[in-house]
Chain A
Amino acid sequence: MLAQLRVPLAFLVRDFRIEASYKTGFAARVLGPVLNIVIYYFIARVFGGLAPNLQAYGGNYFAFVVIGVAFSDYLALGISAIGNSIRDGQVTGTLELMFLSPTRMTIVLFSSSLWSYLFATLSVLTYLVLGTGLGMRLDQANVPFALLSLAIAIISFNALGLFAASLVILFKRGNPLGWAIRVSSVVLGGVFYPVHVLPGWLNQLAQLLPLTHALELLRRSLLLGEGLAQLGGELLALIGLTAVLLPLGLLACHLAIRVAQTDGSLSHY
């Protein structure tokens, strides 16, 4: 078991060392959530008490938007982290060597995004701690269920990221798929407003996005303390989407690598 963890750990150590060597960028990334949360706090104060559409989430816009923004970072990461890591590997020339090692392709791909997730988790914790300090209440939170939901959500986001990574392997630069998923998820996934305010057909479309179900699960479990009894349907929908997207994403990556190994472009950038 320990031996299986060595590769992901090696990726984490590598990425921490590289990240820490860019001191200014490191500090800027740490400060980002702090600035964001201040902005959302004042926006929420402007619209405070005018949020009847948020009754299902406790009625507090600040809490609603903090959770939406904090956890949608995971989606942005899921879509881009693997692709960015592959792009870095293409530019630094290390990608081909990683795929030439006996480590499985899937382990290389997922391990390469671990650091980004660790950093995002720190960012989410910053959002939650600062948000709590500014009045967000998490005292009813069903933490185990929220963590379970988050774990499945991350897998589903990574599955979307595998499609985007396939395009990076094939076309190197330009990733319209990643952009399209990210934008549609922010617009339709309920980051800044609840999905039920969307017109009917857009609401239907939103149900096809993992982010929609992930945010519903996280908000209601963290803000209202709901669990499997109330959210079983949402959880099942997220698991279903993940079960479809993950194998397809892995297949897309596998085929993209095969094409790159056939045309010799694995080390190109």
Chain B
Amino acid sequence: MQPAIETHALTKRFRKLNTYRDLLLYPWRRADHLAVDNVSLRIEPGELFGILGQNGAGKTTLIKMLCTALRPSSGDATVAGHDLVREARRVRALIGLVSGEERSFYWRLTGRQNLEFFAALYHVPPGIARQRIDELLRRIELRDHADQPFRAYSSGMRQKLAIARGLLSQPQVLFMDEPTRSLDPISAQVVRRFVAEYIIGELGRTVILATHSMAEAEELCDRLALVRSGRVVAQGSVDQLRHALHYGGRCELRLRHMPPELPDALRRMRGILSLDVTRSDGLHLLELSLSEEGPVLAAVLREAVECGAEIYGCQTRQVSLEEIYLHTLGTPPTAVEAGVC
């Protein structure tokens, strides 16, 4: 099956802006900033693919390139089989963009008038546009405010309108750049439900979601890419990431008595990624990160018993996406990470 999006070594360099001082002293000097570095992705139709990364990691630049708003410096990419650069107009007819940017509407027009204008730009016939606008406004719970000026909208309403605009042309691929950035938890939940139930569930569109929100990514995304300094350092489903990064799970071991040599003995064991020891309510708490849950956990318990520890309780859980994110992106890049994907 033809992928919805495929990129090969997609790269974007920006020329750094010179200061007046630089222009005077070094008029010929040019410095580049690498925003997206050799990104290769394959995203299947109907997939909800997340792009996670810190501020300035290159998520928005990557999305802007895939939307044809930015020309790649090198590499190539296709959207529904159409080349991003050579067939830009065909690509534009197939995609929609939902930006977290509020500054992209006409503030003196109503929500409905804004949508009517953008529907015309996307060549949606007026009759169909009217029906579609009504349907989208109803779905996104904005119909009662459709005829108010955009300037009177709250941040949540503006974001919802941006989503409705992105869907006006019924795009095959919808790019969503931090769609819940400025939303309260309830509005964010409405947006997430809309994405999951309507855009993916009913319409079956492909969605590329750039987000900071781990909960959002874990709840919605089929697969995701973790991006740092313009590079994809890991990609796959949350389970695949756990497996690829050897994150089996977390274990909290509560001990009534802890022999002093136990922490070092555990740290020396294979499969223990990290160990924190604290005391609480007269108990010793050992928080362990395990590369795999079953055999490593059994070995931990065996070691504790053999050392003479008195086990009061043991709780295990899967590693969350946030922990994977913090571990993968919260430390400087390593050769191991670079080899993950």
Chain A interfacial positions (CB closer than 8 Å to B) = 3, 6-7, 9-11, 13-14, 17-18, 21-22, 92-94, 96-104, 108, 258, 261-264, 266-267
Contacts and interface: CB of A to CB of B under 8 A. Distances in A.
B61 interface: yes
A102 to B, nearest CB: 4
Given A18-B109, A102-B92, A261 B69 contact: yes
B69 A98 contact: no
A98 B106 contact: no
Contacts of B97: 97, 100
A18 B108 CA distance: 6
Contacts of B101: 93, 267
A216 to B, nearest CB: 39
A264 B108 contact: no
A10 B117 contact: yes
| Nearest 8 pairs of A and B residues by beta carbon | A10-B120, A93-B103, A101-B121, A102-B93, A93-B104, A21-B108, A102-B92, A14-B117
B115 to A, nearest CB: 11
A18 B106 contact: yes
A92 B106 contact: yes
Contacts of A11: 117
Contacts of B95: 100
Given A18-B109, A261-B70, A10 B121 contact: yes
A98 B122 CA distance: 9
B260 interface: no
Given A93-B104, A102-B89, A102-B93, A14 B123 contact: no
Interface string B125-165: 11000000000000000000000000000000000000000
Select the residue from A10, A21, A101 with max chain B CB neighbours within 10 A: A101
Nearest to B113: A17
B212 interface: no
A96 B108 contact: no
Contacts of B71: 258, 261-262
18 contacts: A3-B125, A6-B120, A10-B120, A10-B121, A13-B117, A92-B106, A93-B103, A97-B97, A100-B68, A100-B69, A100-B95, A101-B122, A102-B92, A103-B121, A103-B123, A104-B89, A264-B14, A264-B70
Contacts of B118: 97, 101
Contact of A17 (B90, B103, B109, B122): B109
Given A3-B123, A101-B92, A263-B15, 18 more contacts: A6-B120, A7-B120, A14-B113, A92-B103, A92-B104, A96-B104, A97-B104, A100-B68, A102-B89, A102-B90, A102-B93, A102-B122, A103-B122, A261-B68, A262-B71, A263-B14, A264-B61, A264-B70
B67 interface: yes
Contacts of A262: 70-71
B198 interface: no
Nearest to A102: B93
